[in-house]
Amino acid sequence: MEKTNVMRVLDQKKVAYTPHSIGDNTKLSGAEVAQALGKEPECVFKTLVTVGKSGNKYVFVVPINGELNLKKAAKAVGEKSIEMLKAKELLPLTGYVHGGCSPIGMKKFFTTTVDISAQDKELICFSAGKIGYQVELNPDDLSKVIRFKFADVAERAE
């Protein structure tokens, strides 16, 4: 399997993880990714980049079977309001394409919030920085690589 930058960062920091490949350039929905990995959807997370009213950028990591609650997210980062970053701004800002965005290894560090639902999970999966690639690790180990806080920022799908 090809190593992504995310995997190289995890190796460098000596963080245990399991790499997964579900096929290059495969555009799958979150539910399809979870199914391909054989994981419960609440253990698979997506990385979303937002912009606050102040102009500051923020990263949120939420379950693929939920949505980012913009009000809760704004409150979590102390903004009046936030909105999703436009897709065309993602690559120049983060170095990642839509569908392959990871909280690890962005061009620049942004305040990062992981939904509280990840806190009690033994392992979570999220993008390895390339479409079709995921990494699985303990959420506490993520703190060895990036600074983040847990907060209730997602709306659960019923």
Q: Which residues of the chain have pLDDT under 50?
A: none
CATH number at residue 150: 3.90.960.10
Nearest-angstrom CA–CA distance, 12 and 48: 25
pLDDT of residue 2: 85
Looking at residue 156, what is its pLDDT?
74
Question: Hey, how many other C-beta atoms are within 10 angstroms of the C-beta on 37?
Answer: 18
pLDDT of residue 3: 92
Q: How far apart are CA 129 and CA 91, in angstroms?
A: 11
Strands (E), the chain: 18-21, 45-52, 57-63, 66-68, 82-84, 111-115, 124-127, 133-137, 149-151, 154-156
Per the structure, the complete domain to which residue 55 belongs is given by 5-156
What's the total number of domains in the chain? Answer: 1
- pLDDT at position 26, please? 61
Cβ atoms of 6 and 94 within 8 Å: the answer is: no
d(CA 96, CA 116): 24
